[in-house]
Structure 1
C-alpha cells in the first residue's frame, strides 16, 4: 500500500504514480479483480484502496477537461478482468501524457486559433440535433459492444458539453470524429451512418475555427490536355 505522504504534491503526478502502482498490482489476464482480492494475497488486497486513492487524486486536478477524460478510465469495477482494468489504466496514462504535452507545447495564440470556436444559435441547434442523431444511431447499433457504445457516447457527451459554453472547444469534435473513424475501420459500412453524422458536425465546426479558415482549400488537380484527340 502506497504511503500517501510519499505521493507527489501535484495531483497529475500523483495520479501517474498511482496508475503505475496499479499496473504493478493487477495481472493482465482474464481473471476478475474480485477473484484476485478473494485470494487474500496482500498484493491483491492493495488493489481496492489504491483504486480509491487514484480517484481522490484525480478529483484534485484543476483542469476540468482532463478530469472528465480520466473519469471513465478510472471507473474500474471488481467485475472487470485484469486485462480490462489494465486497458483502462493505459488509457488514463495516455490522457495524462496528452495533457502534459499540450501544456508544454501549445502556445496560447495557437489554442485560440485552432481550438476555439464561436457558434451562432442556429449552428448550435444544428449541432445538437446531429449529436442527438449520433446518440440514437449508437444506441441502435447492434454491431457495437457495450464498451464501444459507452466510449462513443462519452465523446458525444463531451461535444454536447462544449455546445453549452460561450466559446466551444474544437478538440472534442476531433476526438469524436477519430473515434467514429475507428468504428468505420473496424465495422465497415455498418458504422457509416453514425460516422457521417459526426463528420457533418465536425465540418460545420471546423469551418468556424479561425486557424483552419486561414488554410487555403486544396486546389483541384489541373487537367492535362489530351493532344491525341482528333488525330
Structure 2
C-alpha cells in the first residue's frame, strides 16, 4: 500500500518532528481493532519505510534496530508495534533534550525582551507588512532547505530550527535583533561549505536582513539605506563605492 503525496507533503520539515508524527500514526494503526492483520501490515510498511530513511537524518543518539521480518504476519505486527513504540520514545526524549537546551539558552533573551515590554529598555518591532514579508521569506527558505540536496542534513536541521525560532518571535517587541543578524553568519557558512547551489538561500537571507535593517533604522530614528551586498561569492569582486 502506498502513502499519498499529501501525507508526505504535510509532514513537518524537521526530521525529528516528522518521525514523531509517523510513529504516532503507526501506533494508532497497530492498536486499531478490529482489523484484518494483513490490512494493518500493508498500512504500516510504508510508514516503517519512511522511518528507516528519516533515521539516517536523525542524531546518533536515536538507535532503533531494523526489523527482521518473517512470514508470520501476526509476529510481524508485534515487531512493528515494538518498533514504533521504541522509536517514538527515543525521538521524544531527544526532542525534549533539544527543546530544554534551547529554552535554557533563551533565558537572557526573554529577560531582555520583558524589560523592553515594560518600557525599561529600548525595543525593536516590525510592522504587519514587514512580518508578512519575513514570514514569506522564511517559508521560502524552509522549502529550499527541504528540497536542497547539496546541504548536509545536520547543517540543514540547524538552519530549520533557527528559522522556526525566528518565526516564533516575529510578533514580539525585541531588545535586540541579534537572532536575525545571526542568519548572515549562517548564510556565509552555508555558501562557503556547500557552494553556489546554496545561493538562493543566501539571497533570501539578504532580503530578510534588509527588512530587519529597515525596522532597526526606523526604531533608531535614522535614514534607511539598503546596505548592498552583504555576502559575495569568493570569486566575485566587491562593488565599487
Query: Same fold by TM-score, threshold 0.5 exceeded?
Result: no
- TM class, shorter-chain normalised? 0.3 to 0.5
Query: TM-score of the superposition, structure 1-length normalised?
Result: 0.44
Query: TM-score of the superposition, structure 2-length normalised?
Result: 0.43
